[in-house]
Amino acid sequence: MENRRWTPLAISLLAIVVTAGILVWSRYSGKQATEIIISSPPPVEQMGEVYIGGAVNNPGLYPLRADDSVAILVQAAGGTTTGIECDNVRLYIAEAGEKDSPQKVDINRAEAWLLEALPGIGSDRANAIVEYRNQHGPFRNNGELTKVSGIGTTIFRQIEPLVTVAE
């Protein structure tokens, strides 16, 4: 009869010890959150600006930093145009006091919106240049612009220093 009293007591004590062990183990089993802090690199000071033009998708002025490479700058300008590789890069540094010459518009590649920016060329003449180019092929020289409807010698003289025909 004495065994009958100890059996429920032993089972109760065993249940309490197991429950307590599970609670202690679950609290300290390594499920604590680990905080990861990623510090941002210190900002690189801008050294100036560089003009990126030619066979890039978005020619223009871009910030120049000490750690920039040519590849980074070309990517900033939207990458190269279709089929162009960065194997031949020319760098020109102007002399002090040298006047900047404007970027010339390639009349064989320019879209109508860019041609409209030329003096004396509006929407109609820009579309006429594109249409002429589509019908007759690429321009061989700047003077061929006078064959486009609406472009006479007066307008041609205004835009001649601003346009080019790519080689």
**Mean pLDDT to the nearest integer, 150-163:** 90
Per-residue DSSP letter, 47? E
Whole-Å CA distances, 6 to 16, 19, 122 = 15, 20, 105
pTM value is 0.44
Q: Helix (H, G, I), strand (E, B), or coil: what is residue 113? A: helix
pLDDT, one tens digit per residue, over 76-116 is 877 877 766 666 666 666 677 777 666 788 999 888 888 98
Domains of the chain with CATH codes: 43-100 (no CATH), 105-164 (1.10.150.310)
